[in-house]
Each structure stands twice: as C-alpha cells, then as structure tokens.
Structure 1
C-alpha cells in the first residue's frame, strides 16, 4: 500500500491535493494501469514477479512499501544518470518554477535554451547549433529530416540490431523486426552490418544515401562499433556527400566513460549528434539534436522557413533548467571520470567470472554500459536444460537471471533485447564500489544456483517456457 504526505489542513474545499489523491488511490496503481493503459504491462510484471510497489528513490537506490532497499542497475532505461532526486537538479526546477518566466510565448527568445546549447556544444566543439525537442526518438526524427533536406537524398542507412526509437521515422532505422512488423510502409532505408565497411561502400555507390545513423555502442546486445569503423565510415560518407549521425541518446553524457561514446575514437566528428535521456536528470522529457552550422542554415534557409521544424514543448524552461543543472553537476562532481573508473571495476570483476561459469559467455561494453551474455554450456545436464529453454524462446535464460536478482537480491536489471541472452547494466553514473560489490556478490549467487542444476531458478524457467509457448 502506498503512503503519501497527508493533505494540508489549509487546503480549500475542492482544491487539488496530490498527496491526498495518492494516499486515497495509490494502492490501485496496477488495476488502473490494466484498465486504462497498456494492459499487457501489469500482466507481464505479475508473471515474472516484478509487480512491486516502490515508494521513493534516492541516488542509485529505491525503496518499496516495506522499507526494503533496492539497487537500481537500470536507471529508468538510462534517464537517471545522476540517480534519483539529485538535490542540485531539484533546486534548479524549483527555482525555474518560482521565477514565473514568460515561457513558450513562441515569439521571443528566452535565455535558457541558448545557455544550454552553449554549454552542450562545448563538449563537441566541431558542432555549432542545437535543436531542442522532447525525447530521444524526436532527436532522431530531427536528424533524419535535417540530413535528407541538407543532402537532397532520400535514403538513410542504419546498422543491424540498431534501436533509434519507435516513431515512424526512427522506426524506419530500427534494426529489430519485432518493432517494425505491422507498421509499414516506412521511410526508404537499408540496414548494413555494424562494422562492415564494404557493405556501406556498396550502398553509398548508389548515390541516394543521405546519412548513416549509428549507435557507437548498440543498446540492444551492447555491441560496440569495431575500432576504426566510425572514422572510416565518416570518410566514406563524406566522399559520397552523405552525413554521419551519431545516436548518443543512451551512450552520451558520460555513460561510456567519455562525454560522448564516439569520442573514444580519434578523428570522429559526426555531422549530427542526438542526445536525450540523461540530459534532464530524469525529471523532464528533453531531447536535443546537435549539428553543423551549414546543415541548420540549409534547413532554416529563410524567414519563410523559420518554423519548418519545431516542437510545441521544445526548449521549455523546466527542461532547459534541468539540463543546465545536470551539466553543471557532471562537471563539478567529475561524473564522467567516475563512470569510467567504476565501469572498469565492474567489468573487470564480472570478466573474472567467465572461466568459473560455463553458462557465462562474454562480458563487454564501456564505462557503465555493460552487457553480460550467456551461452550454451558444455556439461550434459546443463546443456539439455539450455536447449529446452532455447526451443521455447531465446532469451529465457537471461530472464531467469534477471528475476532472482530482483526477487532474492533486490537488484533491478533488464534483458538487453527481445530474443537475446544478454543482460544490460546501465546503472546511474553515481554508483559506487559498494554497489559494485553488491551486484557482483548477487550475480555470483544467482550463477551458483543456475549451475547447481536445481532449485527455484530452473522451476521458474518452466513457468517462462509455458508462458512463451502460450504466446505463440
């Protein structure tokens, strides 16, 4: 049951009181979602035992209704880079609300968007201008539109297994068929394998390619672009008058141990860069597309085209204030360096377990974006059980690991994608050594149970198999 601050005694009759509303109706959360929102979400959460009631969060932790502490290794799909309720970001939002700015008049130029753009561009000095929207997928949509208009070409290339968003344009460059099925026709596009320069060259020779959009580290499966690929791809693209778009929605703002993931490779200077998620500290929806001056000047080529691309809530004061506060915190608290060091520690501790567990195939990633991949074991007993799971649905073993991590160890993680035997760790960038110890100890315990060949973990596997078969 949820708890909330009691209604103020000074509240007027009929006045909206959020605390009172939550106290009265908060316990209905799952029923309300089932009735009015995506009815499959509560069903899925109940099936895997994730139907918890969380009361509050702070930093890299949150607490349930019974006061139990949970370690967050998911960060709200990456938006909570500074953890929950960072005091500096909270204060900035209170301040901007108290300032009562004449926000979103649309016929003036407020200072906050310019100040945030200036601070953001300082981290990518080869870029010149920013468009602010409201989400990662909107940042991608902006980049696609700008690339097509600036080059005069229709086709966008993307990489197999990419994820760039779920609106129609960004869906067109989504490498997972499960997201695309039933939503065609989409934009003209072509997938190329990540790292395959000959395949990229073949497509570019057709002369109709506006851009290649790429995640320097793919979110689905946590696959990193091979060394040298981004720079070589950039050279090929520019040779054919096409653009390089770096999707840094998940990898940007320190996630991989550099401010942007493309900065791990010397000489890479994307024409357009997409950011979102962490930019507001998880408080306010925000997205940004950074680009070169000539691209923006071509899109906004005259006063008649001043609103040719805009967003109703883009550049709103709350999002801009949050963004400024986030970048200030990252600089003052050396968040990027901390993410690099903590990520190296976590990855090295996990990599050391590969030789110990035959079900553990690989540990990869950069900074605090780490993929743990499972694979077919060698021993006969485990191999037969693995084969049984794979026959029902690929990805069930990874789910079998995620569930006890939450239920037995109170650690929230996620499977990295549909039909993938990979767990992705994208915790808040503020996690510390104690959190690393807690995760590694819990993960070791779960792997010990899995390799014992018995226990509740494999019993739960049978439940997942039944569910997978029923959904076919």
Structure 2
C-alpha cells in the first residue's frame, strides 16, 4: 500500500488556483463569464441545500447543480452506501457476470412505472436520451424523430438532433433526421406522423428552458396519435423525474399517459456518481437485444458500475423513507404561491409557472414610462439581461444561487434541492422581494449592474 498521494494536501496547496487552472487548461470562457457576472466565488463546504464560501458564510442553493442534487449535497444515507460498496471490494465491471446491484436498482425504478419492464443503465441524461433514440429507431425501423421547439435533451450528436435551441446546434450539422414542432401542437405532430417515417416523439413534460409545461391533455393525445401511427412516445424525465415536480415523474400529472421509453438521470446519482437510465417496454428491448449475437449491440463501459448502482438504490430508499415527493409537492406549492402573490405588486414581474420545485419566474415589459425606457435599453443590447440583473444581486447581496433559464430568456428557473424547508422559502422570497423593490425603485445596484451587462453585450457584438 502506498501513501504517496495526499488529496487533502494537494487541495490545501493548489486549491487557491482554481480559476487560473480552469482558464489555462479547461474552458477559458467559464471563469471569464463567472467574473463578468460576479459569480467568481470560492466555495469550501456544502451540506443539504446550503454551501459555505471561503469566509464561512452560508449560501442557499436554488440551483441544485442543474437538478443533480435532488437530495441536497452529502446526504448521509447515500454517502454511507458509497462507503459500504467501496469497502465490499466487489468484483465490479467484469462484464462477463450478472452482479445483483443493477437488477435491484432496475426493480426499484420500474416499481414507479409499472407499465414499463426493462432498464438500460448508462452514465448521464444525454446517454439515456441517446439510448431511447437508438431503441426507438431500431424497434420501429424508422429514421425520424419529432421533438419540440426550445427542447433540451443533451449535447451529444444524437441528442443534439432533438435539441430545440439553435445556439447549441449551430456548426454541428448535419445531424440525425429530425423535425421540431411547438409544444402542444397536435396538428403539427399528426402531419409529421402521416408521412410514415417517424420513429418517436421525444418530449419533456415540463421544458427546462423557460419552464414551460405541456398543455393539459397534450401528452395523452400525443400518445394516442403516436400509437395509431406506429410511433413511440419518449418522456425525457432527466430533470423533471424523481420527485422534482411533485410526482415521481412529471408525465404522471396527466391521467392515462404511459410512455414507451422514459429517460432519467441527474438526481438518481445522489450528487456523487453519474448514472443515467432508460426505462422501456419489453417488446422494444427484445427487438434490440434479439439474439445472443446482439448482446452487446448497445452498452456502456461504465454503465451499471457498483458505485452508481449503490447511489441510485440509496437515493430511492431515502425518497421513500423521507417522503421526498410529497415534501417537494408541499414546499413547491408554498414557494409558488408566495411568488404569485408578488405578481400584482411588481410591473416587471409577469408570471410564475411550473410544478413542485421546478418554478419559472418570468419578467416582461413594464407599463410605466421610466421603467419602460430602462427595459428597452436592456432589450436592445441583448435579451435576457434583466433576468441576469436579478440573479446577480440574489447571489452577491443575499447569498442565494439561481440561474437564468436559457440564453436570451427573461426567466429565472428555480430547481433547488428537494430538501429545502419553509425557512429556505422565507429566505428566498424575502431576498427576491428586496431585489424587486430595488429594480422598481429606478436606481441602486440592480441597474448599476445592468449598465455593466449592457457594455459587455455591446462589446461582444
């Protein structure tokens, strides 16, 4: 046994170089962007829905690592499960055996979607979507996938083919055969299905970009159309699944919806070990894995690894024992209700939408002359700057981390850990109210920061 590597000593010696290391060796635009918007902080420790900076100051996390930290950071049950699986010295990833943990996790996952039968484990949400696209195309013998405008399903080539944001797709064409439709447009979906070459329709029940929910009845009606034309329904629950919206899956908010394939990831990891899963119907899996010759026709080198499976099992156990789904529904309803009460009070605040603990706060053009002039200035420079003006002081002045819900959108998305409590709701609403007061006062740090953003936006043109 060697003792030549000391991680704590390395972090103590070099941790202060974090931004310089990223600028030199990784994506150089990340530290530049963080510095521009004042997010270049140093965080040292985290637990639950909170983390602490280098000065020991507490911050509230309303971002959850883009939804990964469903149970918050360092949940003791998940942490213990990972220690236990490492201490067990399992013969992991031999590839020519059938270890128990993948089967046990698949069994637990499928219990929440009793109409589905089998699971493929990968390493991310993007891989889960890639798997669903491949399986749908093979099972139906058709090439084309229909998706929604403004959808986000991942950034690898296949998943990018069903990404509704042009900024992500630009320069990476040609992609897979695909066709976008508007979320909720059944007529457009039926027109595409009549062409006879559509394998599947992939959809987020609530879109991550902008937090737009599928209209009531749309998923059920889409499912009926798809099945009538021999195509499949793929529900992308990578961000919305595992309790985020107040049901285990977001598609379960609508009666009668039973997707043929369901993609999950993010929160299933417990925030530790990446894991993605594609759940599907028996006949689809049997078509893909139709013989022993095809046993490895779709696989992942690190898929079903013991650490990921242990993390997933621990997450599902915690969710059941702690009532996480019901808690997300209750606390999410409280937070949304408190925010909706502010809409009549602030002319820049237009709408609160979403379900559970996936909430969108949308801003829009004010009615008063003074604020309208400032709003127009921001919109002329670049759409989305006002939302960024709200996100920045929430962090800098109130120590709350949030995000703008997509490029050039005047929407803030709240996807906090599902363990936030009423005190956290109070803290956020109080801080958000203070920022809105400042913005509607016509001066202060919000608009000072807005002028900085305008200069940056103009300089980049």
TM-score by length of 1: 0.97
Question: Secondary structure of the residue that 1:194 maps to in structure 2?
Answer: coil
Q: Deviations over 1:368-421 (max 9, x none)?
A: 000000000000000000000000100000000000000000000000000100
Q: Does residue 205 in structure 1 map to residue 194 in structure 2?
A: yes
**How many aligned residue pairs are there?**
461
Q: Does residue 469 in structure 1 map to residue 458 in structure 2?
A: yes
Counterpart residue number, 1:406: 395
Find the aligned partners of 1:459 and 1:335 in 2 and give their Cα distance: 40
Find the aligned partners of 2:457 and 2:26 in 1 and give their Cα distance: 23
Find the aligned partners of 1:308 and 1:192 in 2 and give their Cα distance: 31
Q: Deviations over 1:194-242 (max 9, x none)?
A: 0010010000000000000000000000000000000000000000000
Q: How does 1:385-396 map to 2 (within 5 A)?
A: 385-396=374-385
Find the aligned partners of 1:462 and 1:85 in 2 and give their Cα distance: 39
Counterpart residue number, 1:304: 293
Counterpart residue number, 1:321: 310
**Structure 2 alignment gaps of length 5 or more:** none
Find the aligned partners of 2:444 and 2:78 in 1 and give their Cα distance: 45
Counterpart residue number, 2:277: 288
Find the aligned partners of 1:175 and 1:306 in 2 and give their Cα distance: 33
Counterpart residue number, 2:22: 33
Counterpart residue number, 1:450: 439
Q: How does 1:174-193 map to 2 (within 5 A)?
A: 174-193=163-182
Find the aligned partners of 2:105 and 2:364 in 1 and give their Cα distance: 45
Find the aligned partners of 1:323 and 1:148 in 2 and give their Cα distance: 28
**Equivalent residue for 2:351, pick from 346, 362, 365:** 362
Find the aligned partners of 1:129 and 1:272 in 2 and give their Cα distance: 10
Find the aligned partners of 1:199 and 1:26 in 2 and give their Cα distance: 53
Find the aligned partners of 2:445 and 2:186 in 1 and give their Cα distance: 47
Q: CA deviation at 1:471?
A: 1.4
Q: CA deviation at 1:433?
A: 0.1
Q: Does residue 129 in structure 1 map to residue 118 in structure 2?
A: yes
RMSD value, Cα:
0.7
Find the aligned partners of 2:241 and 2:121 in 1 and give their Cα distance: 16
Q: CA deviation at 1:463?
A: 0.7
**Equivalent residue for 1:57, pick from 35, 46, 50:** 46
Counterpart residue number, 1:435: 424
Counterpart residue number, 1:263: 252
Find the aligned partners of 2:105 and 2:460 in 1 and give their Cα distance: 47
Q: CA deviation at 1:456?
A: 1.5
Question: Secondary structure of the residue that 2:345 maps to in structure 1?
Answer: coil
Counterpart residue number, 1:138: 127
> Segments of 4+ in structure 1 off by > 3 A?
none
Q: Does residue 152 in structure 1 map to residue 141 in structure 2?
A: yes
TM-score by length of 2: 1.00
Find the aligned partners of 1:38 and 1:388 in 2 and give their Cα distance: 31
Find the aligned partners of 2:25 and 2:295 in 1 and give their Cα distance: 39
